[in-house]
Amino acid sequence: MGRHISGERKTAYYLGMGLMILGGILFASTFVTFAMRFGDFSNFESNAKSDVFRAVGGMALLFVGVIIRGIGARGLAGSGVVLNPEKARQELEPYSRMAGGMVKDALEEANASLGTGAQKVVMIKCPSCRKVNEEDSKFCQECGREI
């Protein structure tokens, strides 16, 4: 549960994105046609109606697109449509896992670079002269006593 973003959510994401683009184009087209008609007041009323229709329709499409895309990206609960903190956590999991994975990778990289330089050498003290010898040496470097 929540490990993968479901196909439905991917579809919703792209559908929302499509609506946003469509709405944006529709909205922007009113400026283009307005500029093209500049100074031409024939059919003013019907043109104005068409502009308002496209501007409002475009904005509505854009708005709906943003919501649908948000649902697709973060799930119903994750995007705040459904108030369910536990479900929201599950639906956002792919994202938090992604962030967590990046932190983990960074930590492992840091450890790897530290590990090469800081190889731990175990030392032991000679029982008679207290000279510190490497663990694998058989005889004390100072007094020659068997360790």
Q: CB–CB of 87/31 below 8 Å?
A: no
Instruction: Show the tokens assigned to 104.
Output: 């983990």
> Which of these segments, 40-48, 57-65, 108-116, 122-130, binds Zn ion (CB under 5 A)?
122-130
Residue 21 or 129 with smaller CB distance to Zn ion: 129
d(CA 34, CA 110): 59
Q: CB–CB of 124/133 below 8 Å?
A: yes
User: Of these, 21, 66, 129, 134, which contacts Zn ion (CB under 5 A)?
Assistant: 129
Rounded to a whole number of angstroms, the minimum distance from the CB of residue 93 to Zn ion is 60
Residue in 13, 142, 1, 133 with CA at minimum distance from that of residue 71: 13
Residue 40 or 146 with smaller CB distance to Zn ion: 146
CA distances 11 to 15, 17, 72, 120, 128, Å, are: 6, 10, 7, 54, 77
User: Of these, 28, 56, 123, 143, which contacts Zn ion (CB under 5 A)?
Assistant: 143
d(CA 65, CA 59): 10
Site for Zn ion contains 134 (CB under 5 A): no
Rounded to a whole number of angstroms, the minimum distance from the CB of residue 137 to Zn ion is 11
Site for Zn ion contains 126 (CB under 5 A): yes
Site for Zn ion contains 133 (CB under 5 A): no
Binding residues for Zn ion, per CB under 5 A?
A: 126, 129, 131, 140, 142-143, 145
